[in-house]
Every structure is written in C-alpha cells, then in structure tokens.
Amino acid sequence: MLPSHITLSSQKIIPLYFRKKKGNVMRLSVSADRTLKLAAPFFTSERTALDFIESKKDWIEKTLQKIESRKELIKEDCLNNDGNVKILGKNYSVKIEYSLIEDIVVCGGEVSIFSKTPADEIKIKKQYQNYYRQEAQQNFMESVEKFYPIVEKFGARRPSLKFKTMKSRWGSCNWNKGIIVLNYNLFKTPQNCIDYVVLHELTHLLYKAHDKKFYDFIEKEMPKWKECRNALAGRQ
Ligand SMILES: [Zn+2]
C-alpha cells in the first residue's frame, strides 16, 4: 500500500492518488488542485513506485510553484464595490454605480461599472464578463494581425481563431484544421505574454513539435520569449 500523502523536501505535504494501468511506463502528474497522481503498470512494487516519486521530488516542487504563480496571475475577479479585477497584468479597483445607461469605463486604476441593477451580483458579473471577453478578443485579434505576416511569409494559411476559458493551457493550435484557440484568461496577463502565446501558436502552423527549429523561429522574432514563457509558468 502506498502512503496517501507525500512529504516534499520543503515539508509541504501533498495527497497522492494511485492507479494501476496497462503498459510498462509509470506516469506522474500534479493536478491544478495540488494533488499528485501516479499511474503505474500492474506489477509495480511499492518500493519501485516510491523510488520513482522520490526521484521526481524536485520536479513536483517546481510544478507546484508554477501552479501557484499561475493562480496568482489569473486571480479570480472580485466584482463588488471596492473589489478588484485584473486586466493586462494590472490590478484595477472596482466601482459599481447606478446608471440608466449601462456601461463599463476603465480609467486610471479603476474599473467603473454603470448598471441599472447595481445590487444584482449575477448581472454585474455577466456585464463585466461580456465587456472583458469583447476586449480580450479584440486584443488577441490585433496580436494575431501583428504576427501572422511573419508566418504567412513561409506559407502558413490564415488560421481560424477560437476563444475559450481553459484550465491548463494558454493556447493551442490544431495544425491540421488550422485552428488556434486562445484562453480568455490570457487577457489578465501583460501584453508581451499575450504576444508570446500568439506567436507560439502561429509558429505551430509551420512547425508541429517544440523542437529546436520551432524555438529558433520564435527567438528570431521575439528574443525575450523566455521571460514571457517563465512569467506564464504553463503550457502552450
Ligand atoms: Zn506549443
């Protein structure tokens, strides 16, 4: 029987879920809810499983840190009076005011939400979400316009764009169908991070794998891409 929790070198304790699987490769993953999942072949001994986890402890710590910084980066918006929201890497305080004409105005460090029903939290949330998504799409499309010519030169077809809120990815590219999906949460991160993800996904239209050619291409266009990737602390 494997322990139900694993203690890391930082003394952090993390729950462990174990399942048996076919094949002969062990797989370890850290979920967004900070649990460790081990899938191991049927005849794996307890010792082998524990040694495997032991050998991955540094990686587990690093992955947990990434999950933490990612959570900070896309902190949940708080849409009360004096709450706060994040746009393009900046924090804004929220002001909700009664108005016959509904509108949202971003000025200085403040987001003012003008609403006919300022006490209705669900409506305020919806109103802000519509605004946020529209602004995000506009921003993402401008970024694509900026970077698409770079890959177009090498024969990439114009991709169709989709926007979604995703848990574990900032963006993805379906190479065969020519579809790029961008995560709405990206609009909470600074512009250079958005641009990096857009360039990254566009580059997949030319190079499928994350190999040297792929990153050389990105580096030529965006020499500081590593800063953005590290800031995003996640997969693209
Ligand atoms: Zn990628």
What string of DSSP letters covers 109-149? TEEEEEES-TT-HHHHHHHHHHHHHHHHHHHHHHHHHHHHH
Report CA(195)–ligand 1 centroid distance (Å): 14
Please write the tens of the pLDDT for every residue from 153-175: 999 999 999 999 988 789 999 98
Q: Is the pLDDT of residue 108 over 70?
A: yes
Class of domain 139-232: alpha beta
Give residue 195's identity as a one-letter amino acid code.
D
Partner residues linked to 17 by β-bridges:
37
Q: How far is the CA of 114 from the centre of ligand 1 (A)?
A: 40
Q: For residue 187, which of 119, 111, 134 has the smallest C-alpha distance?
A: 134
pLDDT at 235 over 80: no
Q: What is the pLDDT of residues 17-35, one digit of tens each?
A: 999 999 889 999 998 888 9
Inter-helix orientation angle 191-203/212-221, to 10°: 140
Predicted confidence at residue 138, as pLDDT, reads: 98
Dump pLDDT digits (tens) for 40-96.
999 899 999 999 999 999 999 988 888 888 787 888 899 999 899 999 999 999 999
**Residue 9 has what pLDDT?**
86
Q: What is the pLDDT of residue 33?
A: 84
Amino acid at 197: V
For ligand 1, the distance from its centroid to the CA atom of residue 157, given in whole angstroms, is 17
Q: What is the pLDDT of residue 95?
A: 96
On the CB side of 39, CA atoms within 13 Å amount to: 8
The predicted model gives 214-230 an average pLDDT of 94
The more confident residue out of 231 and 199 is 199
Domain boundaries, the chain: 5-73, 84-133, 139-232
Residue 210 Cα to ligand 1 middle (Å): 6
CA–centroid distance, 198 to ligand 1, in Å, is: 10
* Contact (CB, 8 A) for 154 and 206: yes
| d(CA 216, ligand 1 centre) in Å | 13
Quote the pLDDT of residue 116. 96
| pLDDT, position 48 | 93
Tell me what pLDDT residue 139 has: 98
Q: Which pLDDT does position 234 carry in this prediction?
A: 55
Distance 43 CA to ligand 1 centre (A): 35
Looking at residue 155, what is its pLDDT? Answer: 94
Average of per-residue pLDDT across 12-20: 92
Considering the chain, what is the average pLDDT of its residues? Answer: 93
Q: What's the gap in Å between 197 CA and the centre of ligand 1?
A: 9
Hey, what are 45's tokens? 């001994």
